[in-house]
Amino acid sequence: MNIKTHTKNGTFHVPFFDGDSVLQSIERQDVDVQSHCRDGFCGACKCKLKSGQVEYTVDPLAYMEDDEILTCCTIPVTNIEIEFD
């Protein structure tokens, strides 16, 4: 699966690595994104899910809009496209 990632520094096509969260796969490719707790509490890794589907590995506690996900505790079910502010 692939993760199309839009950041302020450009657009990146990132392969998903089995066993990783979306955040970990993005970081493996040296894409600079914010994160902090890595457990779904703080919301620092929050981004917009533009297309595709994800599954949560833990129930997130951070506040999110309906079109947002936490990359630290999700894995893609399909190819996804996400956008960071």
Query: pLDDT value at position 27?
Result: 96
Residue at 73: amino acid letter: C
Q: Give the pLDDT of residue 67.
A: 97
* Weakly modelled stretches of the chain, pLDDT under 70: none
Per domain, the residue ranges of the chain are 2-83
pTM, two decimal places:
0.93
Note the pLDDT of residue 80. 98
Which CATH fold topology does 2-83 show? Ubiquitin-like (UB roll) (3.10.20)
3-state SS, one letter per residue, for 11-75? EEEEECCCCCCHHHHHHHCCCCCCCCCCCCCCCCCEEEEEECCEEECCCCCCCCCCCEEEHHHEE
pLDDT at 85 (0 to 100): 87
Instruction: Give residue 50's pLDDT.
Output: 98
